[in-house]
A and B are shown apart, each in its own frame.
Chain A
Amino acid sequence: RKEVEQDPGPFNVPEGATVAFNCTYSNSASQSFFWYRQDCRKEPKLLMSVYSSGNEDGRFTAQLNRASQYISLLIRDSKLSDSATYLCVVNLGSGGYNKLIFGAGTRLAVHP
């Protein structure tokens, strides 16, 4: 079983749609969680951290369920510029020890 699993997609949605991505992780000792975004042929960039209480950044909402080892990302009012691959990321370490495990990514294509 992969340490971080995501639906690979692609998700093809029209502009303005709401889309949700899910992710599960296998290591219950995981300390912190993130969503990264990767555009085609570019490097990954941090989109947002994911906190236990859930957190929002504009049109993006991230949630974490530690009991179920489940992470989600909700994008509201999709824009063409949201088209990218979204990587679910789990940090197995804490403090100074830092080991990020990346999911394979979920591809999103927003069309006019």
Chain B
Amino acid sequence: DAGVIQSPRHEVTEMGQEVTLRCKPISGHDYLFWYRQTMMRGLELLIYFNNNVPIDDSGMPEDRFSAKMPNASFSTLKIQPSEPRDSAVYFCASRPGQLQETQYFGPGTRLLVL
């Protein structure tokens, strides 16, 4: 079975541009998570969805960040406008259901904002 799929794998953009990161969770998983990893702050939860509904977005840094999950097989994380401090690796993860706590991570998107 395919794991969590993320695209693009690498993104280089200039400050002020809009960036859209994409994620396809494992089929049948009810939960989807967006994380950000930096050297300074480690791995941080940004937002998570349960059955396509956002449950906790307290980790979203500011209004420049938004996330959507229009259906069970697709989610986006958008940054508009991007800033150099947004440079990080963004991971998407999914989890089967309420009784299973293991999260399965995608390969990540490496974002560099110049």
| Residue ranges of A at the interface with B (Cβ–Cβ < 8 Å) | 32, 34, 42-46, 49, 87, 91, 95-105
* Cβ contacts under 8 Å, A95 to chain B: 98
Q: Give the top 5 A-B pairs by smallest Cβ distance, nearest first.
A: A43-B105, A102-B43, A104-B42, A96-B98, A46-B102
Within the complex, the shortest CB–CB distance from B82 to chain A, in Å, comes to: 22
Within the complex, the shortest CB–CB distance from B89 to chain A, in Å, comes to: 9
* Cβ contacts under 8 Å, B45 to chain A: 99-101
Rounded to whole angstroms, the CA-CA distance of A101 and B107 in the bound complex is 19
Using known A-B contacts A32-B101, A98-B95, determine if residue A103 contacts B31 with beta carbons closer than 8 Å: no
Q: Are A45 and B48 in contact (CB under 8 A)?
A: no
| Chain B, 1-58, CB within 8 A of any chain A CB | 31, 33, 42-45, 48, 50, 55-56
* Cβ contacts under 8 Å, A97 to chain B: 55-56
Chain B contact residues (Cβ within 8 angstroms of A): what range? 20 to 34
Q: Are A45 and B105 in contact (CB under 8 A)?
A: yes
Q: Does more than half of chain B's interface fall in helix, strand or loop, or is it mixed?
A: strand
Q: Are A46 and B98 in contact (CB under 8 A)?
A: no
Rounded to whole angstroms, the CA-CA distance of A20 and B30 in the bound complex is 35
Within the complex, the shortest CB–CB distance from A37 to chain B, in Å, comes to: 11
Within the complex, the shortest CB–CB distance from B78 to chain A, in Å, comes to: 21
Using known A-B contacts A91-B101, A98-B48, determine if residue A43 contacts B91 with beta carbons closer than 8 Å: yes
* Cβ contacts under 8 Å, B107 to chain A: 42-43
**Residue of B42, B55, B108 with most chain A CB atoms under a 10 A cut-off:** B42
A-B contact pairs, 11 of them (CB 8 A): A42-B107, A43-B91, A44-B43, A96-B50, A97-B55, A98-B103, A99-B45, A99-B48, A100-B45, A102-B42, A105-B42
Rounded to whole angstroms, the CA-CA distance of A49 and B102 in the bound complex is 9
- Closest chain A residue, CB of each to CB of B98: A96
